[in-house]
Structure 1
Amino acid sequence: MHQAYCLLKKSLLAAALSAALSTAAQAEQVYSAAYGGRNFFELHFYGLEDGMGGTGLLQQDYELSADDMEQFRARADFSAQGISAALQAAELWAEVLSGSFAASSPVELSLIAVDWQEAAAGLSNKTSDGTFSAYTTVADKLLFDTTMRIPGIILIGEPGFELPEHLSALPLVSGFDFTASIAHEIGHLLGIGTTEEWQTVYSAHSYDCYGTQYDLSLIHI
């Protein structure tokens, strides 16, 4: 399995990110997303004081240039409302994944507020021992309790109004669904809609709490 790092961008469809982001400098904040009394995800929110915190060994492992790394620099802070919405998204996934969660500790996610347009999921397949997995690090941790070398990274930027290719089946309103945007990016970190090269179809191992298996790869999010 070869080295790969993927940054998947998804346009945010409508306005006013100010409800979710703040310009007041804050240090890293850590929250847990639980379901059924069990912590599934550990969310690290990185703001202005953290620079490119949360990117770990990303630059070293993938030989990214200083310019490449700038896209991971925090340019704002998450507000309490934004943090609450992100936790709700993670808790939704915790409920979905509760029937097949094999990790002995929470899966680490780094959320970084950036100043470029769109949102993105940054995912890796490099393990803690330096080898390359068939799965994303997030899916590997969930399925096999593999130690994560690089956390799942979610970048949240500003919505872009001027791009005509921003198509949506939903009406463009005065705000976007922040929770749905985060849930979308977590799906990418699980391997949904990422690349056909990796064995990242999480549904091959996923059963709900009733023992039913669903093909999540058929769900477009």
Structure 2
Amino acid sequence: MKIGVVTFPGSLDDVDAQRAVRLAGAEPVALWHGDHDLKGVDAVILPGGFSYGDYLRCGAIARFAPVMTEVIEGASKGMPVLGICNGFQILCESHLLPGALIRNDHRTFVCRDQELVVENAGTAWTQAYEQGQHVTVPLKNGEGGFVADAETLDRLEGEGRVVVRYVGANPNGSLRDIAGVTNERGNVVGLMPHPEHAVEDLCGPGTDGLGFFASAVQALAAV
């Protein structure tokens, strides 16, 4: 089973995501932003970083990259797609997920180990966790505040589409402490924290992040 990781100009965590995929038991495939080709992968990860230097808005230019045409089409057919940090921003700019990510309310970059609670363990990227499970993964962002209008927030809450939520002090001003959301089908997930930095005991706060990638492997095996 193959999981593609897209590299945009300015991507920083694509190699880390590939390693996480490998540790989860799948084959990582490098995908290039300028290609209309997903190389036959079964799922796609949009990694963290600063695509196109975060000009205009974070993810606003990457949304128009040639590969995103294929990602959007694949997502519409049920392909699992995960957006991490900048990838989350790209998914929102692509309208694969609702809402937007704006500058942190304290106007400074935040980098810390962040406790999360899994609110939805039924998506393609969270099914390896238990509902209500607490995990700790690194968080690093300057524009990580999730915002949406009240109607959209109520719908996300009511439909169980809040995937993970911040525990403790809100690190960036995200409304309702939302750290990640999913689409209606549950195959597209975006989250601001970085699970790919918590997949080995040697580095990071432990292996709590590995479950996101193992979940995709489980979801694909069940198809």
TM-score by length of 2: 0.25
The structure with higher relative contact order (CA 8 Å, sep 6+) is 1
